[in-house]
């Protein structure tokens, strides 16, 4: 009986697959979004101070901050896949001249 149970467990575990995007590729996608945003906003491009990749923020023009977050996309329960896309959510100052 133990052998049959072990066989069933191994059979089940071998059927599990992961569709998560490796961190390297997810970081590249996120960086592309942030860089494209900077290119589209001349004020941010000309006064850029730093990019905080850990918190998804851009600092520009004497301490202003542009903040990014994950776009929430409805997924079926149990769905495994890449993180939701990064998107601009708000800023503490104007992003345009």
In a domain, 46, yes or no: yes
In a domain, 80, yes or no: yes
In a domain, 3, yes or no: no
Judged against a pLDDT cut of 50, whether residue 18 lies above it is answered with no
In a domain, 8, yes or no: no
pTM of the shown model: 0.72
> What is the span of the domain harbouring residue 67?
21-91
Tens of pLDDT, residue by residue over 58-76, are 999 999 999 999 998 888 8
Query: CB under 8 Å to 2, separation ≥6 — which residues?
Result: none
Tens of pLDDT, residue by residue over 28-44, are 999 999 999 999 999 99
- Number of structural domains (the chain) is 1
Query: For the residues of 41-97, what is the DSSP string, one character each?
Result: -HHHHHHEEEEETTTTEEEETTTEEEEEEEPP----TT---SPPPEEEEEESS-S--
């Amino acid at each position: 009986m133990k052998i049959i149970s072990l066989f069933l467990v191994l059979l089940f575990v071998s059927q599990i697959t992961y569709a998560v995007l490796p961190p390297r590729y997810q970081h590249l996608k996120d960086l592309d979004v942030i860089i494209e945003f900077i290119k589209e906003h001349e004020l941010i491009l000309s006064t850029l101070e730093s990019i905080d990749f850990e918190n998804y923020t851009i600092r520009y023009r004497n301490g202003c901050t542009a903040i990014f977050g994950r776009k929430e996309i409805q997924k079926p329960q149990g769905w495994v896949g890449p993180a939701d896309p990064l998107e601009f959510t708000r800023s503490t100052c104007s992003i345009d001249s």
